[in-house]
Amino acid sequence: MKWLASNYGLVWELMQAHIALCIPPILIGFLISIPIGWVANRYKLSRGVILLVLGLLYTIPSLPLFIFMPLVLGTPQLSSLNVVVALTIYAVALMVRSAADGLSSVDKDILQAASAMGYSGWQRFWRVELPLSGPVLLAGLRVVSASTVSLATIGSVIGVTSLGYLFINGLQRSIPGEVITGIVATLLIAVVFDLVLVLIGRLLLPWIRQDRTSARAARRRAVLIAEGAR
Amino acid sequence: MIEFRSVTKQFPDGTVAVEGFDLVIPPRKTTVLVGSSGCGKTTLLRMINRMIDPTSGSILIDGEDTGGLAPVKLRRRIGYVMQNSGLLPHRKVVDNVATVPVLNGVPKKEARAHALELLDTVGLDRSLADKYPRQLSGGQQQRVGVARGLAADPNILLMDEPFGAVDPIVRAELQQETIRLQEGLGKTVVFVTHDIDEAFLLGHQVVILQKGGHIAQVGTPAEILARPADDFVATFIGADKGKRVLRIQNVDGRDVVVDENGTPTGVLQS
Protein backbone atom coordinates (compact mmCIF):
# COMPACT_ATOMS: atom_id res chain seq x y z
CA MET A 1 0.00 0.00 0.00
CA LYS A 2 2.82 2.31 0.81
CA TRP A 3 4.29 1.78 -2.67
CA LEU A 4 0.96 2.52 -4.30
CA ALA A 5 0.44 5.69 -2.25
CA SER A 6 3.70 7.19 -3.50
CA ASN A 7 3.31 5.99 -7.09
CA TYR A 8 -0.36 6.64 -7.66
CA GLY A 9 0.27 8.84 -10.68
CA LEU A 10 2.36 6.21 -12.43
CA VAL A 11 -0.23 3.46 -11.87
CA TRP A 12 -3.03 5.62 -13.18
CA GLU A 13 -0.99 6.51 -16.27
CA LEU A 14 -0.17 2.85 -16.91
CA MET A 15 -3.81 1.88 -16.47
CA GLN A 16 -4.85 4.41 -19.09
CA ALA A 17 -2.17 3.16 -21.47
CA HIS A 18 -3.26 -0.40 -20.80
CA ILE A 19 -6.90 0.39 -21.55
CA ALA A 20 -5.97 2.25 -24.74
CA LEU A 21 -3.93 -0.78 -25.79
CA CYS A 22 -6.79 -3.24 -25.16
CA ILE A 23 -9.85 -1.57 -26.65
CA PRO A 24 -8.86 -1.59 -30.35
CA PRO A 25 -8.01 -5.32 -30.47
CA ILE A 26 -11.28 -6.26 -28.75
CA LEU A 27 -13.41 -4.13 -31.07
CA ILE A 28 -11.54 -4.87 -34.29
CA GLY A 29 -11.26 -8.55 -33.41
CA PHE A 30 -15.01 -8.70 -32.89
CA LEU A 31 -15.78 -6.98 -36.19
CA ILE A 32 -13.38 -9.17 -38.17
CA SER A 33 -14.67 -12.36 -36.57
CA ILE A 34 -18.30 -11.96 -37.62
CA PRO A 35 -17.76 -12.35 -41.40
CA ILE A 36 -15.16 -15.10 -40.88
CA GLY A 37 -17.54 -16.87 -38.49
CA TRP A 38 -20.29 -16.52 -41.06
CA VAL A 39 -18.15 -18.12 -43.77
CA ALA A 40 -17.05 -20.84 -41.33
CA ASN A 41 -20.66 -21.56 -40.52
CA ARG A 42 -21.85 -21.46 -44.12
CA TYR A 43 -20.01 -24.51 -45.43
CA LYS A 44 -19.11 -27.69 -43.60
CA LEU A 45 -15.59 -27.85 -45.02
CA SER A 46 -14.72 -24.20 -44.39
CA ARG A 47 -15.83 -24.53 -40.77
CA GLY A 48 -13.35 -27.32 -40.05
CA VAL A 49 -10.46 -25.62 -41.84
CA ILE A 50 -11.03 -22.12 -40.48
CA LEU A 51 -11.52 -23.21 -36.89
CA LEU A 52 -8.45 -25.44 -37.02
CA VAL A 53 -6.20 -22.69 -38.41
CA LEU A 54 -7.46 -20.11 -35.92
CA GLY A 55 -7.16 -22.60 -33.09
CA LEU A 56 -3.50 -23.07 -33.99
CA LEU A 57 -3.05 -19.31 -34.23
CA TYR A 58 -4.01 -18.90 -30.59
CA THR A 59 -1.35 -21.39 -29.54
CA ILE A 60 1.48 -19.16 -30.89
CA PRO A 61 3.35 -17.89 -27.82
CA SER A 62 2.73 -14.19 -27.41
CA LEU A 63 6.27 -12.95 -26.88
CA PRO A 64 7.66 -14.26 -30.18
CA LEU A 65 4.58 -12.93 -31.98
CA PHE A 66 5.10 -9.46 -30.50
CA ILE A 67 8.76 -9.53 -31.55
CA PHE A 68 7.87 -10.86 -34.98
CA MET A 69 5.31 -8.14 -35.73
CA PRO A 70 7.70 -5.31 -36.77
CA LEU A 71 9.19 -7.64 -39.39
CA VAL A 72 5.80 -8.26 -40.94
CA LEU A 73 4.28 -4.80 -40.52
CA GLY A 74 7.44 -2.78 -41.03
CA THR A 75 6.63 -0.81 -37.90
CA PRO A 76 9.25 0.50 -35.45
CA GLN A 77 10.24 -1.95 -32.70
CA LEU A 78 8.64 0.10 -29.94
CA SER A 79 5.40 0.91 -31.77
CA SER A 80 2.29 -0.03 -29.82
CA LEU A 81 0.79 -1.06 -33.17
CA ASN A 82 2.80 -4.29 -32.92
CA VAL A 83 0.97 -5.25 -29.76
CA VAL A 84 -2.41 -4.06 -31.04
CA VAL A 85 -2.13 -6.18 -34.20
CA ALA A 86 -0.89 -9.24 -32.30
CA LEU A 87 -3.69 -8.92 -29.74
CA THR A 88 -6.19 -8.54 -32.57
CA ILE A 89 -4.94 -11.82 -34.04
CA TYR A 90 -5.53 -13.55 -30.71
CA ALA A 91 -8.94 -11.92 -30.40
CA VAL A 92 -9.92 -13.18 -33.85
CA ALA A 93 -8.55 -16.64 -33.06
CA LEU A 94 -10.81 -16.81 -30.01
CA MET A 95 -13.81 -14.97 -31.36
CA VAL A 96 -14.38 -16.72 -34.69
CA ARG A 97 -15.45 -19.90 -32.95
CA SER A 98 -17.98 -17.98 -30.89
CA ALA A 99 -19.21 -16.20 -34.00
CA ALA A 100 -19.63 -19.48 -35.88
CA ASP A 101 -21.28 -21.14 -32.89
CA GLY A 102 -23.49 -18.13 -32.28
CA LEU A 103 -24.74 -18.05 -35.86
CA SER A 104 -25.37 -21.78 -35.88
CA SER A 105 -27.22 -21.54 -32.54
CA VAL A 106 -30.08 -19.69 -34.20
CA ASP A 107 -33.19 -21.87 -34.52
CA LYS A 108 -33.60 -23.00 -38.15
CA ASP A 109 -37.40 -22.77 -37.84
CA ILE A 110 -37.09 -19.10 -36.99
CA LEU A 111 -34.88 -18.50 -40.02
CA GLN A 112 -37.42 -20.31 -42.19
CA ALA A 113 -40.18 -18.20 -40.73
CA ALA A 114 -38.19 -15.04 -41.40
CA SER A 115 -37.72 -16.06 -45.03
CA ALA A 116 -41.40 -16.90 -45.33
CA MET A 117 -42.26 -13.41 -44.03
CA GLY A 118 -40.25 -11.93 -46.89
CA TYR A 119 -36.90 -11.00 -45.37
CA SER A 120 -34.21 -10.96 -48.06
CA GLY A 121 -31.00 -12.83 -47.25
CA TRP A 122 -29.21 -9.64 -46.27
CA GLN A 123 -32.06 -8.33 -44.11
CA ARG A 124 -32.42 -11.71 -42.46
CA PHE A 125 -28.75 -11.71 -41.48
CA TRP A 126 -28.75 -8.25 -39.92
CA ARG A 127 -32.19 -8.25 -38.33
CA VAL A 128 -32.61 -11.87 -37.31
CA GLU A 129 -29.46 -14.01 -37.37
CA LEU A 130 -27.04 -11.51 -35.87
CA PRO A 131 -29.24 -10.32 -32.99
CA LEU A 132 -30.29 -13.86 -32.15
CA SER A 133 -26.68 -15.03 -32.00
CA GLY A 134 -26.08 -12.12 -29.58
CA PRO A 135 -25.96 -14.15 -26.35
CA VAL A 136 -23.27 -16.51 -27.71
CA LEU A 137 -21.35 -13.61 -29.26
CA LEU A 138 -21.43 -11.78 -25.94
CA ALA A 139 -20.15 -14.81 -24.06
CA GLY A 140 -17.29 -15.10 -26.56
CA LEU A 141 -16.51 -11.40 -26.37
CA ARG A 142 -16.22 -11.57 -22.58
CA VAL A 143 -13.56 -14.28 -22.93
CA VAL A 144 -11.77 -12.22 -25.58
CA SER A 145 -11.85 -9.18 -23.33
CA ALA A 146 -10.32 -11.00 -20.36
CA SER A 147 -7.70 -12.66 -22.56
CA THR A 148 -6.74 -9.37 -24.21
CA VAL A 149 -6.40 -7.48 -20.92
CA SER A 150 -4.09 -10.12 -19.54
CA LEU A 151 -2.03 -10.63 -22.71
CA ALA A 152 -1.45 -6.89 -23.08
CA THR A 153 0.79 -6.95 -20.00
CA ILE A 154 3.38 -8.89 -22.00
CA GLY A 155 3.72 -5.92 -24.30
CA SER A 156 5.89 -4.30 -21.62
CA VAL A 157 8.57 -6.91 -22.25
CA ILE A 158 9.14 -5.48 -25.73
CA GLY A 159 8.87 -1.93 -24.43
CA VAL A 160 5.22 -1.09 -25.18
CA THR A 161 3.77 0.63 -22.15
CA SER A 162 1.20 -1.32 -20.19
CA LEU A 163 0.56 -2.48 -16.64
CA GLY A 164 3.10 -5.24 -17.33
CA TYR A 165 5.74 -2.64 -16.50
CA LEU A 166 4.81 -2.97 -12.84
CA PHE A 167 5.49 -6.73 -12.91
CA ILE A 168 8.85 -6.39 -14.62
CA ASN A 169 10.06 -3.41 -12.64
CA GLY A 170 8.71 -4.80 -9.37
CA LEU A 171 10.43 -8.15 -9.90
CA GLN A 172 13.73 -6.62 -10.92
CA ARG A 173 13.78 -4.29 -7.94
CA SER A 174 12.13 -6.78 -5.55
CA ILE A 175 9.19 -4.55 -4.66
CA PRO A 176 6.28 -6.96 -3.93
CA GLY A 177 3.89 -4.03 -3.50
CA GLU A 178 4.52 -2.97 -7.08
CA VAL A 179 3.92 -6.47 -8.48
CA ILE A 180 0.72 -6.87 -6.47
CA THR A 181 -0.48 -3.44 -7.59
CA GLY A 182 0.10 -4.51 -11.19
CA ILE A 183 -1.92 -7.67 -10.73
CA VAL A 184 -4.78 -5.91 -8.95
CA ALA A 185 -4.89 -3.09 -11.50
CA THR A 186 -4.97 -5.59 -14.39
CA LEU A 187 -7.75 -7.54 -12.70
CA LEU A 188 -9.64 -4.33 -12.07
CA ILE A 189 -9.56 -3.43 -15.75
CA ALA A 190 -10.65 -6.94 -16.72
CA VAL A 191 -13.58 -6.80 -14.30
CA VAL A 192 -14.66 -3.34 -15.42
CA PHE A 193 -14.49 -4.38 -19.09
CA ASP A 194 -16.57 -7.42 -18.27
CA LEU A 195 -19.20 -5.36 -16.46
CA VAL A 196 -19.37 -2.94 -19.36
CA LEU A 197 -19.88 -5.81 -21.80
CA VAL A 198 -22.63 -7.32 -19.65
CA LEU A 199 -24.29 -3.91 -19.48
CA ILE A 200 -24.10 -3.47 -23.25
CA GLY A 201 -25.58 -6.95 -23.57
CA ARG A 202 -28.48 -5.99 -21.32
CA LEU A 203 -29.17 -2.95 -23.46
CA LEU A 204 -28.84 -4.66 -26.82
CA LEU A 205 -30.41 -7.99 -25.93
CA PRO A 206 -33.40 -6.98 -23.81
CA TRP A 207 -35.40 -10.11 -24.65
CA ILE A 208 -32.88 -12.30 -22.84
CA ARG A 209 -33.49 -10.50 -19.58
CA GLN A 210 -37.24 -10.65 -20.10
CA ASP A 211 -36.73 -14.34 -20.54
CA ARG A 212 -34.89 -14.63 -17.29
CA THR A 213 -37.37 -12.55 -15.32
CA SER A 214 -40.18 -14.66 -16.70
CA ALA A 215 -38.19 -17.77 -15.75
CA ARG A 216 -37.77 -16.37 -12.27
CA ALA A 217 -41.45 -15.52 -12.09
CA ALA A 218 -42.25 -19.04 -13.22
CA ARG A 219 -39.98 -20.46 -10.53
CA ARG A 220 -41.57 -18.26 -7.88
CA ARG A 221 -45.00 -19.33 -9.05
CA ALA A 222 -43.89 -22.97 -8.88
CA VAL A 223 -42.68 -22.47 -5.32
CA LEU A 224 -45.92 -20.79 -4.32
CA ILE A 225 -47.95 -23.59 -5.82
CA ALA A 226 -45.77 -26.14 -4.04
CA GLU A 227 -46.26 -24.30 -0.75
CA GLY A 228 -49.97 -24.03 -1.36
CA ALA A 229 -50.14 -27.76 -1.92
CA ARG A 230 -48.60 -28.36 1.47
CA MET B 1 -57.19 -18.61 -57.27
CA ILE B 2 -54.11 -20.78 -57.03
CA GLU B 3 -53.39 -23.35 -59.70
CA PHE B 4 -50.89 -26.19 -59.64
CA ARG B 5 -50.04 -27.41 -63.14
CA SER B 6 -48.30 -30.79 -63.31
CA VAL B 7 -45.94 -29.80 -60.52
CA THR B 8 -43.06 -32.13 -59.65
CA LYS B 9 -40.53 -31.65 -56.90
CA GLN B 10 -37.47 -33.81 -56.56
CA PHE B 11 -35.06 -32.90 -53.77
CA PRO B 12 -31.28 -32.99 -54.33
CA ASP B 13 -31.07 -36.26 -52.35
CA GLY B 14 -33.34 -37.93 -54.91
CA THR B 15 -36.61 -38.11 -52.96
CA VAL B 16 -39.58 -37.23 -55.07
CA ALA B 17 -41.86 -35.30 -52.73
CA VAL B 18 -44.49 -34.44 -55.32
CA GLU B 19 -45.09 -35.83 -58.80
CA GLY B 20 -47.30 -34.47 -61.56
CA PHE B 21 -49.54 -32.58 -59.15
CA ASP B 22 -52.58 -30.74 -60.51
CA LEU B 23 -54.99 -28.79 -58.36
CA VAL B 24 -57.14 -25.68 -58.48
CA ILE B 25 -57.56 -23.87 -55.18
CA PRO B 26 -60.67 -21.67 -55.30
CA PRO B 27 -60.47 -18.08 -54.02
CA ARG B 28 -61.99 -16.96 -50.71
CA LYS B 29 -62.40 -20.52 -49.49
CA THR B 30 -60.42 -22.78 -47.21
CA THR B 31 -58.64 -25.64 -48.92
CA VAL B 32 -57.09 -28.24 -46.64
CA LEU B 33 -54.25 -30.49 -47.78
CA VAL B 34 -54.39 -33.52 -45.53
CA GLY B 35 -52.25 -36.64 -45.40
CA SER B 36 -49.75 -38.54 -43.30
CA SER B 37 -46.17 -37.41 -43.00
CA GLY B 38 -44.22 -37.76 -46.23
CA CYS B 39 -47.19 -37.13 -48.49
CA GLY B 40 -45.67 -33.88 -49.70
CA LYS B 41 -48.30 -31.57 -48.22
CA THR B 42 -45.84 -29.11 -46.67
CA THR B 43 -43.73 -29.14 -49.84
CA LEU B 44 -46.84 -28.22 -51.83
CA LEU B 45 -47.65 -25.38 -49.43
CA ARG B 46 -44.14 -23.99 -49.53
CA MET B 47 -44.10 -24.03 -53.31
CA ILE B 48 -46.95 -21.50 -53.31
CA ASN B 49 -44.76 -18.74 -51.81
CA ARG B 50 -41.58 -20.08 -53.43
CA MET B 51 -39.94 -21.21 -50.21
CA ILE B 52 -39.39 -24.26 -52.41
CA ASP B 53 -39.21 -24.11 -56.19
CA PRO B 54 -40.72 -26.95 -58.25
CA THR B 55 -38.40 -29.10 -60.37
CA SER B 56 -40.93 -28.90 -63.19
CA GLY B 57 -44.43 -27.62 -63.74
CA SER B 58 -45.82 -24.27 -62.70
CA ILE B 59 -47.89 -22.61 -60.02
CA LEU B 60 -50.21 -19.77 -60.94
CA ILE B 61 -51.74 -17.19 -58.66
CA ASP B 62 -54.68 -15.44 -60.30
CA GLY B 63 -53.35 -16.61 -63.64
CA GLU B 64 -49.83 -15.31 -63.08
CA ASP B 65 -46.94 -17.80 -63.08
CA THR B 66 -45.12 -17.38 -59.76
CA GLY B 67 -41.93 -18.69 -61.40
CA GLY B 68 -41.50 -15.26 -62.95
CA LEU B 69 -41.98 -13.33 -59.70
CA ALA B 70 -39.29 -12.29 -57.23
CA PRO B 71 -39.58 -14.71 -54.27
CA VAL B 72 -39.04 -12.08 -51.55
CA LYS B 73 -41.73 -9.78 -52.97
CA LEU B 74 -44.09 -12.69 -53.50
CA ARG B 75 -43.73 -13.82 -49.89
CA ARG B 76 -44.53 -10.37 -48.57
CA ARG B 77 -47.95 -10.52 -50.15
CA ILE B 78 -48.78 -14.03 -48.93
CA GLY B 79 -49.52 -14.64 -45.25
CA TYR B 80 -47.71 -17.56 -43.65
CA VAL B 81 -48.50 -19.22 -40.32
CA MET B 82 -46.37 -22.12 -39.17
CA GLN B 83 -46.23 -24.70 -36.42
CA ASN B 84 -44.61 -23.44 -33.18
CA SER B 85 -45.57 -19.94 -34.32
CA GLY B 86 -42.11 -19.14 -35.78
CA LEU B 87 -42.22 -15.77 -34.03
CA LEU B 88 -39.00 -13.80 -33.77
CA PRO B 89 -37.97 -14.21 -30.11
CA HIS B 90 -36.08 -10.90 -30.00
CA ARG B 91 -39.04 -8.83 -31.14
CA LYS B 92 -41.94 -7.74 -29.02
CA VAL B 93 -45.35 -9.14 -29.94
CA VAL B 94 -46.42 -5.88 -31.58
CA ASP B 95 -43.25 -5.75 -33.69
CA ASN B 96 -43.66 -9.38 -34.69
CA VAL B 97 -47.13 -8.61 -35.99
CA ALA B 98 -45.85 -5.50 -37.78
CA THR B 99 -42.98 -7.42 -39.45
CA VAL B 100 -44.30 -7.65 -42.99
CA PRO B 101 -45.78 -4.14 -43.28
CA VAL B 102 -42.46 -2.72 -42.02
CA LEU B 103 -40.61 -4.81 -44.62
CA ASN B 104 -43.01 -3.37 -47.19
CA GLY B 105 -41.99 0.14 -46.16
CA VAL B 106 -44.96 1.13 -44.00
CA PRO B 107 -43.78 3.64 -41.32
CA LYS B 108 -43.14 1.89 -38.01
CA LYS B 109 -45.66 3.91 -36.03
CA GLU B 110 -48.44 3.24 -38.48
CA ALA B 111 -47.55 -0.47 -38.70
CA ARG B 112 -47.63 -0.77 -34.90
CA ALA B 113 -51.00 0.94 -34.61
CA HIS B 114 -52.37 -1.49 -37.17
CA ALA B 115 -50.71 -4.39 -35.34
CA LEU B 116 -52.63 -3.48 -32.18
CA GLU B 117 -55.88 -3.65 -34.13
CA LEU B 118 -54.87 -7.06 -35.42
CA LEU B 119 -54.36 -8.27 -31.86
CA ASP B 120 -58.03 -7.42 -31.30
CA THR B 121 -58.94 -9.28 -34.48
CA VAL B 122 -57.32 -12.52 -33.32
CA GLY B 123 -58.74 -12.16 -29.82
CA LEU B 124 -55.62 -11.13 -27.91
CA ASP B 125 -55.49 -8.49 -25.22
CA ARG B 126 -53.51 -5.38 -26.21
CA SER B 127 -51.62 -5.59 -22.93
CA LEU B 128 -49.62 -8.44 -24.52
CA ALA B 129 -48.25 -6.13 -27.21
CA ASP B 130 -45.05 -5.23 -25.33
CA LYS B 131 -44.23 -8.75 -24.22
CA TYR B 132 -41.73 -11.03 -25.90
CA PRO B 133 -43.05 -14.20 -27.57
CA ARG B 134 -41.65 -16.56 -24.96
CA GLN B 135 -43.63 -14.82 -22.24
CA LEU B 136 -46.82 -15.99 -23.96
CA SER B 137 -48.57 -19.36 -23.82
CA GLY B 138 -48.46 -21.65 -26.85
CA GLY B 139 -52.00 -20.77 -27.85
CA GLN B 140 -51.34 -17.03 -27.52
CA GLN B 141 -48.18 -17.37 -29.61
CA GLN B 142 -50.16 -19.12 -32.31
CA ARG B 143 -52.69 -16.28 -32.32
CA VAL B 144 -49.85 -13.78 -32.71
CA GLY B 145 -48.62 -15.93 -35.60
CA VAL B 146 -52.03 -15.63 -37.26
CA ALA B 147 -52.11 -11.87 -36.66
CA ARG B 148 -48.67 -11.59 -38.27
CA GLY B 149 -49.85 -13.62 -41.24
CA LEU B 150 -52.75 -11.20 -41.72
CA ALA B 151 -50.79 -7.99 -41.14
CA ALA B 152 -50.07 -7.09 -44.75
CA ASP B 153 -53.70 -7.87 -45.62
CA PRO B 154 -52.74 -10.64 -48.05
CA ASN B 155 -55.32 -12.34 -50.24
CA ILE B 156 -53.76 -15.69 -49.48
CA LEU B 157 -53.00 -17.19 -46.09
CA LEU B 158 -50.86 -20.32 -45.91
CA MET B 159 -51.13 -22.31 -42.69
CA ASP B 160 -48.65 -25.14 -42.08
CA GLU B 161 -50.01 -27.36 -39.29
CA PRO B 162 -50.46 -24.24 -37.20
CA PHE B 163 -52.24 -25.94 -34.32
CA GLY B 164 -50.22 -29.15 -34.18
CA ALA B 165 -48.33 -28.23 -31.02
CA VAL B 166 -51.10 -26.85 -28.80
CA ASP B 167 -53.33 -28.79 -26.44
CA PRO B 168 -56.74 -30.03 -27.66
CA ILE B 169 -58.83 -27.39 -25.88
CA VAL B 170 -56.78 -24.50 -27.22
CA ARG B 171 -56.69 -26.17 -30.63
CA ALA B 172 -60.50 -26.31 -30.74
CA GLU B 173 -60.62 -22.58 -29.87
CA LEU B 174 -58.09 -21.70 -32.53
CA GLN B 175 -59.94 -23.77 -35.13
CA GLN B 176 -63.17 -21.88 -34.45
CA GLU B 177 -61.23 -18.63 -34.59
CA THR B 178 -59.79 -19.61 -37.98
CA ILE B 179 -63.25 -20.36 -39.36
CA ARG B 180 -64.54 -17.04 -38.03
CA LEU B 181 -61.61 -15.08 -39.49
CA GLN B 182 -61.78 -16.78 -42.87
CA GLU B 183 -65.50 -16.06 -43.15
CA GLY B 184 -65.11 -12.50 -41.93
CA LEU B 185 -62.11 -11.56 -44.04
CA GLY B 186 -62.74 -13.70 -47.12
CA LYS B 187 -59.14 -14.87 -47.45
CA THR B 188 -58.04 -17.77 -49.59
CA VAL B 189 -56.72 -20.12 -46.94
CA VAL B 190 -54.51 -23.11 -47.74
CA PHE B 191 -54.23 -25.23 -44.64
CA VAL B 192 -51.97 -28.25 -44.12
CA THR B 193 -52.71 -30.87 -41.48
CA HIS B 194 -52.45 -34.58 -40.82
CA ASP B 195 -55.66 -34.52 -38.79
CA ILE B 196 -58.67 -35.51 -40.89
CA ASP B 197 -61.13 -34.15 -38.32
CA GLU B 198 -59.44 -30.77 -38.51
CA ALA B 199 -59.57 -31.00 -42.30
CA PHE B 200 -63.31 -31.72 -42.31
CA LEU B 201 -63.96 -28.96 -39.78
CA LEU B 202 -62.08 -26.19 -41.59
CA GLY B 203 -62.10 -27.16 -45.26
CA HIS B 204 -64.55 -26.06 -47.90
CA GLN B 205 -62.39 -28.19 -50.15
CA VAL B 206 -60.44 -31.11 -48.73
CA VAL B 207 -57.56 -32.70 -50.63
CA ILE B 208 -56.54 -36.13 -49.34
CA LEU B 209 -52.97 -36.90 -50.30
CA GLN B 210 -51.04 -40.14 -50.61
CA LYS B 211 -47.28 -40.57 -50.77
CA GLY B 212 -45.58 -38.51 -53.46
CA GLY B 213 -48.31 -35.90 -53.48
CA HIS B 214 -50.76 -38.16 -55.32
CA ILE B 215 -54.30 -36.98 -54.81
CA ALA B 216 -56.48 -39.74 -53.39
CA GLN B 217 -59.59 -37.60 -53.42
CA VAL B 218 -60.69 -33.96 -53.70
CA GLY B 219 -64.07 -32.77 -52.57
CA THR B 220 -66.14 -31.13 -49.90
CA PRO B 221 -66.17 -32.97 -46.57
CA ALA B 222 -69.72 -34.11 -47.32
CA GLU B 223 -68.76 -35.48 -50.72
CA ILE B 224 -65.82 -37.38 -49.28
CA LEU B 225 -67.92 -38.81 -46.46
CA ALA B 226 -70.72 -39.75 -48.84
CA ARG B 227 -68.48 -41.49 -51.33
CA PRO B 228 -64.89 -42.27 -50.35
CA ALA B 229 -63.00 -42.71 -53.63
CA ASP B 230 -61.19 -45.89 -52.61
CA ASP B 231 -60.08 -48.05 -49.70
CA PHE B 232 -57.23 -45.67 -48.89
CA VAL B 233 -59.63 -42.79 -48.37
CA ALA B 234 -62.09 -44.96 -46.47
CA THR B 235 -59.30 -46.06 -44.13
CA PHE B 236 -57.94 -42.54 -43.82
CA ILE B 237 -61.24 -41.01 -42.79
CA GLY B 238 -61.99 -44.01 -40.57
CA ALA B 239 -65.06 -45.10 -42.51
CA ASP B 240 -63.77 -48.66 -42.81
CA LYS B 241 -64.02 -49.23 -39.06
CA GLY B 242 -67.55 -47.98 -38.88
CA LYS B 243 -66.42 -44.60 -37.63
CA ARG B 244 -68.40 -41.72 -39.13
CA VAL B 245 -71.53 -43.87 -39.22
CA LEU B 246 -74.48 -42.50 -37.30
CA ARG B 247 -77.66 -44.46 -36.76
CA ILE B 248 -81.17 -43.42 -35.94
CA GLN B 249 -83.04 -45.00 -33.04
CA ASN B 250 -86.68 -44.37 -32.49
CA VAL B 251 -87.29 -43.41 -28.88
CA ASP B 252 -90.78 -42.36 -27.77
CA GLY B 253 -91.66 -41.42 -31.33
CA ARG B 254 -88.58 -39.22 -31.88
CA ASP B 255 -85.51 -39.97 -33.96
CA VAL B 256 -82.41 -40.09 -31.77
CA VAL B 257 -79.03 -40.18 -33.55
CA VAL B 258 -76.43 -42.52 -32.06
CA ASP B 259 -72.77 -42.76 -33.05
CA GLU B 260 -70.65 -45.81 -33.89
CA ASN B 261 -70.40 -46.75 -30.19
CA GLY B 262 -74.14 -46.52 -29.67
CA THR B 263 -73.77 -43.29 -27.71
CA PRO B 264 -76.69 -40.91 -28.30
CA THR B 265 -75.42 -37.64 -29.80
CA GLY B 266 -78.59 -35.74 -30.66
CA VAL B 267 -82.14 -35.64 -31.92
CA LEU B 268 -83.00 -35.62 -35.61
CA GLN B 269 -85.27 -32.81 -36.76
CA SER B 270 -87.10 -32.99 -40.02
Whether A102 has a pLDDT exceeding 90, the answer reads yes
pLDDT the model gives residue B259: 86
- Rounded to an integer, what distance in angstroms lies between the CA atom of residue B94 and that of residue B80? 17
Higher confidence at residue A181 or residue B260? A181
* Residue A230 pLDDT level (bands cut at 50, 70, 90): very low
Q: What is the pLDDT of residue A189?
A: 96
Confidence grade of residue A36 (pLDDT, cut at 50, 70, 90): very high
**Residue A229 in domain:** no
Supply the mean pLDDT for chain A. Answer: 87
Nearest-Cα distance to chain A for B49, in Å, is 8
| Mean pLDDT (whole number) for A180-185 | 92
Interface test with B, best of A117, A120, A130, A202 (most B CBs within 10 A): A117
Model confidence at A228, pLDDT cuts 50, 70, 90, reads: very low
Report CB contact under 8 Å: B84, A109: yes
Distance CA A203, CA A32 (A): 22
- pLDDT for res A223: 55
Answer yes or no: is pLDDT of A55 > 80.
yes
A115 at interface of B, judged by CB pairs closer than 8 A: yes
What CATH number is associated with residue A139? 1.10.3720.10
Residue A230 within any structural domain of the chain: no
State yes or no: pLDDT of A225 exceeds 80.
Answer: no
A6 in reach of chain B (CB within 8 A): no
CB contact under 8 A, B86 and A110: yes
Domains and CATH numbers, chain B: 2-241 (3.40.50.300), 242-270 (no CATH)
CA distance B116 to chain A (A): 19
Q: How far is CA B191 from each of CA B44, B65, B90, rounded to the nearest angstrom? A: 11, 21, 27
Nearest to B72 among A120, A207, A214 (CB): A120
Query: Which pLDDT value is given to residue B270?
Result: 73
CA A68, CA A191: separation in Å to the nearest integer? 30
Residue A93 lies in a domain: yes
- Kindly identify which residue of chain A lies nearest to residue B92, measuring between CA atoms: A207
- What average pLDDT does the segment A202-207 reach? 91
- Domain membership flag for residue A224: no
DSSP labels for chain B?
-EEEEEEEEE-TTS-EEEEEEEEEE-TTSEEEEE-STTSSHHHHHHHHTTSS--SEEEEEETTEEGGGS-HHHHHHTEEEEETT----TTS-HHHHHTHHHHHTT--HHHHHHHHHHHHHHTT--GGGTTS-GGGS-HHHHHHHHHHHHHTT--SEEEEESTTTTS-HHHHHHHHHHHHHHHHHH--EEEEEES-HHHHHHH-SEEEEEEGGGEEEEEE-HHHHHHS-SSHHHHHHHTGGGTTT--EEEEETTEEEEE-TTS-EEEE---
Q: Which residues of chain B does A205 touch, with a Cβ-Cβ cutoff of 8 Å? A: 90
pLDDT band at A229 (very low <50, low <70, confident <90, very high): very low
What residues are paired with B160 via a beta bridge? B82, B192
pLDDT for B145 equals: 94
Could you tell me the pLDDT band of residue A217, with boundaries at 50, 70 and 90? Answer: low
Domain holding A97, by residue range, is 2-204
As for how many domains chain A has, the answer is: 1
Residues with pLDDT less than 50, chain B: none
The distance of Cα A36 from the centroid of its chain, to the nearest Å, equals 16
- In B, which residues are within 8 Å of A211 by CB distance? 132, 134-135
Q: How far is residue B115's CA from residue B151's CA, in Å, rounded to a whole number?
A: 7
Tell me the residues of B at the A interface, defined by beta carbons under 8 Å apart.
46, 49, 51, 72-73, 75-76, 80, 82, 84, 86-91, 99-100, 103-104, 131-132, 134-135, 148
A220 within domain boundaries:
no
At residue A47, the pLDDT reads: 85
Crossing angle (nearest 10°) for helices A134-151 and A8-42: 140
- CB within 8 Å: A132 and B49: no
A143 vs B: CB within 8 A: no
Size of interface A-B (CB pairs under 8 A): 65
- Give the pLDDT score at A79: 84
Write out chain B residues lying below 8 Å of A111, CB-based. none
- For residue A44, is it within any domain? yes
Structural domain includes residue A200: yes
* pLDDT above 90 as % of chain A: 55
User: How do residues A111-166 score in pLDDT, each as one tens digit?
Assistant: 999 999 999 999 999 999 999 999 999 999 999 999 999 999 988 888 888 999 99
pLDDT of the residue at A224: 59
Please indicate, yes or no, if residue A141 is contained in any of the structural domains. Answer: yes
Mutation target to probe the A interface, by most A beta carbons within 10 A, among B72, B91, B142 is B72
Under the banding of pLDDT at 50, 70 and 90, the label for residue A222 is low
